[in-house]
Every structure is written in C-alpha cells, then in structure tokens.
Amino acid sequence: MREVAILGVGQTAVREQWDRSIRQLAVTAGRAAMQDAGVEKVDAIYVGNMTSGVLNQQMQLGALIADHLNQHGAEAVKMEAACGSAGSAMRQGLLAVASGELDAVLVIGVEKMTETPFKETTAALTTAADADYEIVHGVTFVGLNALIMRRYMHEYGYQRNDFAPFALNAHSNGANNPNAMFQKAISQRTYEKGRIVADPISLFDASPIGDGAAALLLVPAAKAPNAVRVAGSASATDTLAVHDRHDMLWLKAAEQSAKRAYAEAGVVPEAIDLFELHDAFSVMAALSLEATGFAERGQGVRFAQEGEIFPDGRIPICTMGGLKARGHPVGATGLYQLAEATLQLRGQAGAAQIPDAKIAMTQNIGGSGATIVTHILERP
C-alpha cells in the first residue's frame, strides 16, 4: 500500500447559506482544494453527505458535483454514514489512492440543512437512529444524548455544570476561526444560564446545524513529499441502537478505530499533539477522550476541568471551534475536522495555531456511536 498525502484543502464558512445551493457549496470547496493542490483533473470524487435526498430533493451528488467541477468521466459517488459520512468518504478516497488504483482523489463533505422547517430537519437527522426501536418512540438525537449524559452523571457523580469546559474551550477556539458559525468566547456564567433543550443538555452542550462544505485533494505521498501525510486510518461500528450496547457509556467503535489507527501510524496517544474530536454533544467529547486513551473511564469531564483540553493543555481538542462553535453540517463535519487538522500541521491555522504541532488525530462519529472513523495525520 502506498502512503497518501493531503495536497489540497478547501472550505466554505459554516453559515445559514440562503443564497447558495448544495451544489454551489460543494463545488466551491472542491475547487478551492484543487486550486490549493495545483491540480486540474482528478480520477475520482467521493462525496460525504447524509440528508440531500430528503432535505434538498437531490441525489446523485457525485455526478452532479463532477459535472459542475468540469470533471466529466471521473468516478464519482456519494457516501452516507450519518454524521460520519465525510470521515467515511475520506477513508474510501484514502484506500483508493493507497491501493495504487487512483492517483488523484477529491473528497468532499457537504450538507445544506437550514432552509427546511425545523421539524423536517430534525426528522431527517433522526433517520440515523434505529427506525423500529428508537424512532418509533419519538426519540431524537438530543434526547438520546440527554439519556447518555444523565447516566454518565449518575455513574460518576458529576453535575451538569461540570461539563462547561467543553463549551468554553470550543467557543474560545471558534473565536479564532473565520469559518466558524460562532466566533465569540463564552463565560462559565453564560454556560450555566444556557436554556435546557433536553435535560440535562443545554444549548451550550449541543452543536448547531449549518450549511457548509469542506474538501481535501489526496495524492500518493511520493508525489508530494512536503505535504501532510495520512499516517493512520480506521473505521469501526457498534450497534445502531443505544439500548442494544453492552455498555452505553463506552464508545466501543471509537476505541477500536483509534487502536487500529494508532497501530497503523506507529504511535501512542501521548504522541498526538491535537485531537479534533466529534463534540456533537458535551458528553460525547468526554466519552471520546476516554475511549481513545486520553482519560481514564469516567474521568473525561475531570480531564477537561483540569484544563487538559485547552490549547495549552495536554491534548488540545476542537482547536478551531469543533462542532460546537464551528457548526455541524453533518455530512461535511468529518472533512472540516480533517481540513482544520491539516492546516494546523501546515502551520496555517492563524490565531488558532497550536505551536509546533506535528501529529494530529481526527474522529468522526455517525449516529450515537454506530460508525466511528479515526484518522491520524503527520507533518512531513
């Protein structure tokens, strides 16, 4: 298998993009990545997206985007794994280049979700849960994560306000990211006054949806010796329904995919300089830190309280705002994480730059932990 490098990066801001269609968002990010790489023709385009068929009445995103990028003839498909769609598309693009089958692959994550009524958008997102045993009871992902957070608090003795560092870190970092939806730091008092949306989850424990697209251009590392390299990649699954898991407070797929990625990259958690984790909800950030080996079981919140997740801490997370402040255009999120990690390793993260970052990890979660994709990137 060949080593693979990230030669180009492209992003749009995450916003309510009223004046831009899903194709325009995807093409903007894709074209930016190609221009960044200095590449005019690609062999394939892999698109991560979850809801285009439901919310935008548009399928066949692969062919649509290839058409408008003037890449006629290229292989082009859409990949869906709920909120893990972009990370999954990245993995397929990576495997295609690593295998030697393709030499230039454009991977794009895109989602447009703010123009539809709230109930329709929520219903579309809920399709990532178990239709027969979860959705039928009217549960939403906020509701599912509220149940998980409540159980976490019960088992480990935390209060809701103990989760504040995750939101404070994300918003502080988002203030340094011009592509973030929220570019203003918040205080502990602001967090504590946050409106409860599904007890114990408040507005500051849940990520906002948004419209946006991010893209990477992948090539063999031998052709781009000075580009950021993909050192490790793995994907794993768990049960779709939370109640079917042996342990609802352990992200088994996060543990498995991280272990495989560590092994492939030849590193241990202590070697990672920054971690773009999937903080769709505060409790998921805590569980991710525990499952990937940065905190002991039940200590993810304590780890955050001790300041270890902040830019000057042991493992900076969500360095450009994460899902919470950058926003969560679900099918694009995994590629925003990878794009931001790449910029960090290039030294191009601006005011959000983590000094001397050499190795970065990203983890993209689909559903409530049913699909989890981990990537480790390394500076040349």
Is 318 annotated as catalytic?
A: no
Which among 171, 278, 328, 375 is annotated as catalytic?
328
Strands of 18-112, DSSP E: 44-48, 75-79, 105-111
Residue of 83, 278, 318, 375 marked catalytic: 83
Question: Distance (Å, rounded) from C-alpha 38 to C-alpha 227?
Answer: 13
Q: Other CB atoms closer than 10 Å to residue 172's CB: what's the count?
A: 18
Distance of CA 352 to the CA centre of its chain: 17
E strand or H helix at 170: helix 164-174
DSSP letter at 344?
H
Cβ contact 67:60 at 8 Å: no
Q: Is 92 helix (H, G, I), strand (E, B) or coil?
A: helix
Backbone dihedral angles phi then psi of residue 361, each to the nearest 5 degrees: -125, 140
DSSP string, 96-148: HHHTTS-S-EEEEEEE--SSS-HHHHHHHHHTTS-TTTTGGGT--HHHHHHHH
Residues sharing a CB contact under 8 Å with residue 68, sequence separation 6 or more, in sequence order: 23, 27
Return the DSSP state at 195.
Answer: P
Location of structure tokens 């030499």: 103
Give the 3-state secondary structure percentages of the chain, helix then strand then coil, rounded to 5. 40, 20, 40
Q: Annotated catalytic sites, by residue?
A: 83, 328
